[in-house]
A and B are shown apart, each in its own frame.
Chain A
Amino acid sequence: MNVPEDLLYTKSHEWIRREGENIRVGITDHAQAELTDVVFVELPKVGASVEAKAPVAVVESVKAASDIYAPVKGTVVEANNALTNNPALINSDPFGEGWLFALKLDNADDLKNLQSAAAYKDQIEA
């Protein structure tokens, strides 16, 4: 299972890429493999303020609907509208074209609450 070293992770299987004042968020390779066949994505509205661990998006596979959580507090600055027509990008490229949304960080210190690639790897291999 692919777990890129340069990303941060949540226990709920989101990945986080730091981009200056912003973070980009998606779901991990492990999560997409568990869900399989993503058929619908509901994205957060740009401009919305979100709390850490609040459900902000929904990823639906044939199997089930799964909530996606904001990793930290912030404001939505981008949503990946390409997923509306092609939700399967989450399966084919979870860490790239399958990203879900970008947040402007409220407080960069909040990122300390997230886990490293090594810790996430331990979590999914446990």
Chain B
Amino acid sequence: MVPFGGWLMPVQYTSIVDEHQTVRNAVGMFDISHMGQFIVSGNGARDWLNAMLTNNVAKLDVGQGQYTFLLNDNGGVIDDLILYRIGEAEFLLVVNASKIEEDFAWLERHLNEGSSPCQLKNRSADFGGVAIQGPRVVDLFHDLLGQNVELPARNHVIDFVIEEMPVSIARTGYTGEDGVEVFFRTSDAARFWNLVLERGAQFGTKPCGLGARDTLRLEMCYPLNGSDLSADRNPIEAGLGFFVDLKKPNFTGREKLLKAKTNGARERLIAFKMNGKGPPPRPHYSLFSGGNRVGEISSGTLSPSLNIGIGMGYVSAASAKIGTPLEVEIRGQKFPATIEKKPLYKKQS
């Protein structure tokens, strides 16, 4: 068990590699009860959120979600989150555990900036959640919900009742596999967890910890806030401009991002693979190109799917092209690596 965002969380239940393969081949369940939930509602909710967040909230139909950023005035990332439109004028924000207080304080401070009123509530203590991920997740949910019930489409959320437990099921995840994130009342958390393990056994469902969550997301190059994202990095540098709508007339950080886009970022978040076997790359190891230090690793591990060291790191823009040879300094010795296209892992179809 390790401290994580104010919670004690298991790194692994059996082994990271075993849990990783379970998600790639069957179904893995992660406890994500630590994540925060805010509800924003009222006539002004949509426009206010559109000014607070980078993605375009106006594109969301009821029942639909989007990945988005909460930025500071410098365009740096306070948090990355998923925003769901759960009613005509009601939104759910799912935020990182370690950022609940900071996000809430920031949003609360800016709450009166909208033209029409809206309410903001921190409901984090009321909900538990699990991420259920892997190629057999549809089979598992047909068993839980009935063979004729369809799961929500990608990035959509639908409310269901499972064995008298009201749940919200969102078709999203952090692993690169098909999957869902399910939110339920805190009081139902243990019962829901046990139900999934019991009914999921026939599909190979196993509990998975933070270790596998990290190796799975890193193979997909999904960023982790605090490692790959921070208050002094903007989404353009991180290569996540897709989730920033610069055409919106105003949102926090817009001017800085426009500048970053026009002038080009000084550094970029790249993905790399080690060229051969060796010690796994880890956060904060230095990256070299042509003998010069060009940056450092933000996330690194041994990829259980590829069986080779992988990672991401910020390097100077001139050294950020795909195919650029790099060297990773590990305990005074340099090991060759190559900048690769994201994601590092592609599912065999």
Interface residues of A in 5-61 (CB under 8 A from B): 36-37, 39-40, 42, 58, 60-61
Closest B residue to A84 using CB positions: B277
| Residues of B that sit less than 8 Å from A by CB | 11-12, 15-17, 211, 215, 277-280, 282, 301-302, 304, 331
Min CB distance A85 to B, Å, is: 9
Min CB distance B216 to A, Å, is: 12
Contacts of A40 in B (CB 8 A): 277-280, 302
Question: Are B331 and A42 within 8 A (Cβ)?
Answer: yes
Q: Counting chain A CB atoms within 10 Å of each CB, which of B215, B277, B280, B304 scores highest?
A: B280
Does A119 make an interface contact (CB < 8 A)? no
With A39-B302, A42-B331: A62-B279 Cβ-Cβ less than 8 Å: no
Contacts of A37 in B (CB 8 A): 15-17
Question: Are B301 and A62 within 8 A (Cβ)?
Answer: yes
Question: Are A62 and B16 within 8 A (Cβ)?
Answer: yes
The 9 closest A-B pairs by CB, nearest first: A36-B15, A62-B16, A37-B17, A40-B279, A39-B302, A37-B15, A62-B302, A63-B211, A60-B279
Min CB distance A90 to B, Å, is: 13
Report Cα–Cα, A37/B12, bound state, in Å. Answer: 11
Report Cα–Cα, A61/B211, bound state, in Å. Answer: 11
Closest A residue to B15 using CB positions: A36
Question: Are A62 and B331 within 8 A (Cβ)?
Answer: no
Report Cα–Cα, A35/B11, bound state, in Å. Answer: 10
Number of A residues near B (Cβ < 8 Å) is 11
Q: A42-B279, A60-B280, A60-B302 are in contact. List 12 more A-B contacts (CB 8 A).
A: A36-B15, A36-B16, A36-B17, A37-B17, A39-B280, A39-B302, A40-B277, A40-B302, A62-B17, A62-B302, A63-B12, A65-B282
| Residues of A that sit less than 8 Å from B by CB | 36-37, 39-40, 42, 58, 60-63, 65
Question: Are B279 and A65 within 8 A (Cβ)?
Answer: yes
Contacts of A62 in B (CB 8 A): 16-17, 211, 215, 280, 301-302, 304
Closest A residue to B333 using CB positions: A42
Report Cα–Cα, A42/B12, bound state, in Å. Answer: 24
Contacts of B211 in A (CB 8 A): 62-63
Contacts of B277 in A (CB 8 A): 40
Report Cα–Cα, A58/B215, bound state, in Å. Answer: 21
Report Cα–Cα, A60/B277, bound state, in Å. Answer: 13
Contacts of A39 in B (CB 8 A): 280, 302
Q: Counting chain B CB atoms within 10 Å of each CB, which of A37, A42, A63 scores highest?
A: A63
Report Cα–Cα, A39/B309, bound state, in Å. Answer: 10
Report Cα–Cα, A63/B304, bound state, in Å. Answer: 12
Min CB distance A66 to B, Å, is: 12
14 residue pairs from A and B, CB less than 8 Å apart: A36-B12, A36-B15, A36-B16, A36-B17, A39-B302, A40-B280, A40-B302, A42-B331, A62-B17, A62-B215, A62-B280, A62-B302, A63-B11, A65-B282
Report Cα–Cα, A40/B276, bound state, in Å. Answer: 12
Min CB distance B28 to A, Å, is: 15
Contacts of B280 in A (CB 8 A): 39-40, 60, 62, 65
Contacts of B304 in A (CB 8 A): 62
Report Cα–Cα, A65/B331, bound state, in Å. Answer: 11
Complex partner residue of A58 from B16, B279, B301, B302, CB under 8 angstroms: B279
Contacts of B301 in A (CB 8 A): 62
Q: Counting chain B CB atoms within 10 Å of each CB, which of A39, A58, A65 scores highest?
A: A39
Closest A residue to B16 using CB positions: A62
Report Cα–Cα, A61/B17, bound state, in Å. Answer: 10
Closest B residue to A88 using CB positions: B17
Closest A residue to B277 using CB positions: A40
Report Cα–Cα, A63/B195, bound state, in Å. Answer: 29
Contacts of B16 in A (CB 8 A): 36-37, 61-63
Contacts of B215 in A (CB 8 A): 62
Min CB distance A60 to B, Å, is: 6
Min CB distance B285 to A, Å, is: 10
Min CB distance A37 to B, Å, is: 5
Closest B residue to A41 using CB positions: B279
Min CB distance B186 to A, Å, is: 29
Min CB distance B265 to A, Å, is: 31
Min CB distance A55 to B, Å, is: 10
Report Cα–Cα, A36/B209, bound state, in Å. Answer: 13
